[in-house]
Every structure is written in C-alpha cells, then in structure tokens.
C-alpha cells in the first residue's frame, strides 16, 4: 500500500524532479530518526570536550609548584571536581549556562 505524503521528497536530475519511491522515503525517514536519536550523544561529546579543555587549562592550579596560596588551590580543586561531575548532573547533556561551575577568580 502506498502512502501519500504531504511533502514528498525528491531529487533533481537532468530530467527534472524525481520523487522518492516509498522505499526511499522510508530509508530517509530511518536516517533522519537515527540522526535525531544521536543528538544527545553528540551534545554530550561536545560538552565533554569543553569540560576536558577547561580541566586542561586549569591543571597548573594543582601543581605542587603552583604560585597559588592554599585557599585558592582549594577553590580551584572544587571547581575541577564540579567539572568532572558534570555528566552526573540532572540536566546532562542538556546543560544550561548556569549548570556549568563558575571558574574561581
């Protein structure tokens, strides 16, 4: 049984517009659904990359020879711990700006 679509897909050829067959429509639907299903995984990977960069950028704060006083080292250690805990956040991976920890000044 053939479905009638409200907005059937097509491709352009040298002969003009060629509409997808029902099999092509279903295959494209499956591709689009697979892409949509992977949105959270892509967002999580992007957030992990950002988090990893923020951790790398603040590594120096925890070195033994860091010029920081101990109180500041503790603040930075807490910040870094919060960064590592982001994947456990209730909103993961759909984080808002306020879900990210604030970098110590």
List, for residues 45-80, the tens digit of each pLDDT value.
Answer: 999 999 999 999 999 999 988 888 889 999 999 999
Question: Closest Cα to residue 85, out of 58, 56, 48, 60?
Answer: 48
- 22 in a structural domain: yes
Max CA distance (Å), the chain: 74
- 44 in a structural domain: no
Domain residues for the domain of 28 are: 8-37
- Please tell me the total count of domains within the chain: 2
Hey, how many other C-beta atoms are within 10 angstroms of the C-beta on 54?
16
Q: Tell whether pTM > 0.85.
A: no
| pLDDT at residue 85 tops 60 | yes
Question: Closest Cα to residue 105, out of 82, 75, 85?
Answer: 75
Q: Is the same domain home to 55 and 94? A: yes
| pLDDT at residue 3 tops 70 | no
Hey, how many other C-beta atoms are within 10 angstroms of the C-beta on 65?
5
- pLDDT category, 1, cuts 50, 70, 90? very low
Average pLDDT over residues 29-56: 94
């Amino acid at each position: 049984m053939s479905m009638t679509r409200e907005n059937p897909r097509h491709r352009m050829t040298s002969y003009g517009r060629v509409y997808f067959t029902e099999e092509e429509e279903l295959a494209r639907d499956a591709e689009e659904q697979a892409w949509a299903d992977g949105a959270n995984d892509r967002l999580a990977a992007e957030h992990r990359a950002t988090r990893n960069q923020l951790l790398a950028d603040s590594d120096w704060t925890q070195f033994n020879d860091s010029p920081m006083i101990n109180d500041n080292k503790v603040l930075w250690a807490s910040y870094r711990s919060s960064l590592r805990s982001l994947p456990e956040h209730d909103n993961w991976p759909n984080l808002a700006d306020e879900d990210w920890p604030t970098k110590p000044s």
